[in-house]
Copies of this chain bind each other. A is one copy, B any other.
Amino acid sequence: MAANSFGTLFRFTTWGESHGPAIGVVVDGVPPRLPLSESDIQPWLDRRRPGQSRFTTQRREEDLVRILSGTFEGHTTGTPIQLLIENTDQRSKDYRNIADRFRPGHADYTYWKKYGIRDYRGGGRASARETASRVAAGAVARQILGPGIAIRGALVRVGPHAIDRALWDWRQVAENPFWCPDAATAPRWADYIDEVRKAGSSTGAVIEIVASGVPPGLGEPIYDKLDGDLARALMTINAVKGVEIGAGFAAAGLRGEENADEMRMAEGEPVLLWNNAGGILGGISTGQDIVVRFAVKPTSSIPKPLRTIDAEGEEVEIATHGRHDPCVGIRAVPVGEAMVACVLADHLLRHRALVGT
């Protein structure tokens, strides 16, 4: 069980609520003698940090990480690594009005039905704040993967507006507040998100993560297939409603010869043309780029009034003010990268166990 744990050999366990004293993650199964200090983790957390533009929540969290265990003189020791992040900017009074009524599209109702008790402050455990712990774990995973494996994410759609893939330029991703790889689309997203925000609403988005340099052979058929683990990893991120690999849902519309990646040799190495497979066949990496996408629904907590019920079963209205992301998909980009890193680190270790390299 351990529903708050993820991974098999490289395995992390997160804990903490949005408005508790702290959140954190224990990372177990990390090989010894890898360099690791706070400065290896903090930059990744900074990318996810709220309050960096008007397009994300205005909650101000430093998200400073502290390593409490598992390292010695700047290196991992093979023992569990506890990473702790204090919560510093909770405003719990913002949430009093939602203590007894359920925000539509939010986990309020289901937590209450399941547990009969819930920490409603800031969404408690269901808050996207938990994803900071994932990003911290992902930073450790990247130390295992090493510099040869690059994991990068981008936003490829916001509401009705998709990027033009012909204009994809990874350098653009750092040049706008949306991780948008297409310079022409970024300003259109700015306008659209401003519009929905001012309308008291929110918007969904699609994120794409690409992992390059992954060697062939990672993944464990049948039930621990690399794509199965990636699907679970991404689907457990808050607000995600769909995951696809390579051609994804579009593959349903293709014919066999259009979809099956033909193989050729290039510089002595096998290449799968087109990469419709998204770098995975039979649950095992092919050596091509691993390409996954996931859909994030629009933020459920919006100022616009919605009809709902309360804990007594009365039909009421609710409008959520607080400080919320108008497009929660934006901050999901570094989270998606982190989850992909964790899945790959786990399978790298598993592969090494089985075949010894």
Contacts and interface: CB of A to CB of B under 8 A. Distances in A.
Contacts of A234: 231
A110 B284 contact: yes
- Tell me the interface secondary structure of chain A in the complex: mixed
A126 B221 contact: yes
Contacts of A124: 72, 77, 79
Contacts of A16: 68-69, 80, 82
Nearest to A258: B298
Q: Report the interface size class on chain A.
A: 35 or more
Contacts of A5: 2, 5, 11, 13, 28, 223
Contact of A221 (B3, B229, B249): B3
Contacts of A349: 353-354
A252 B296 contact: yes
A3 B223 contact: yes
Given A203-B255, A216-B110, A231-B235, A260 B79 contact: no
B355 A353 contact: no
Contacts of A163: none
A263 interface: yes
A99 to B, nearest CB: 11
Interface string A184-224: 00000000000010010111111000000000111111111
A236 B234 CA distance: 15
A77 B295 contact: no
A281 B201 contact: no
A285 to B, nearest CB: 7
Interface string A246-265: 11111111111111111111
A252 B295 contact: yes
B118 A77 contact: yes
A343 to B, nearest CB: 11
A49 interface: no
A111 B243 contact: no
B297 A251 contact: yes
A278 B69 contact: no
Contacts of A157: 252-253
Contacts of A260: 103-106, 298, 300, 302, 306
A9 interface: yes
Given A3-B224, A77-B124, 16 more contacts: A1-B11, A2-B11, A3-B221, A4-B26, A15-B82, A16-B69, A78-B117, A107-B284, A110-B283, A113-B217, A126-B221, A196-B256, A202-B256, A228-B235, A241-B248, A248-B295
